[in-house]
Amino acid sequence: MASGSAIVFFDGYCGLCNETVDFLLARDRHHHLRFAPLQGETAKRYLTTAETEDLDSLVVVRLENPDAPIKLKKSTAVLFAVSKLSTPWKFLTGLAMLVPGSLRDLAYDFIAKNRFRLRGRRETCRLPTPDERDQILP
Give the CB-side neighbour count of residue 98, counting CA atoms within 13 A.
4
What is the rounded distance in angstroms from the CA atom of residue 47 to the CA atom of residue 54? 11
**pLDDT tens for the chain, residues 1 to 138:** 443 489 999 988 888 888 899 899 989 988 999 999 999 999 999 999 999 987 888 899 999 887 888 999 999 999 999 999 988 888 899 899 999 999 999 998 998 888 877 766 666 666 677 777 788 888
Q: How far is CA 87 from CA 60, 90, 92, in A?
A: 21, 5, 8
What is the rounded distance in angstroms from the CA atom of residue 136 to the CA atom of residue 8? 9
Tens-place pLDDT, residues 106-131: 998 998 888 877 766 666 666 677 77
pLDDT at 35: 94
The full set of domain ranges for the chain reads: 6-122
What is the pTM for the complete model shown?
A: 0.86
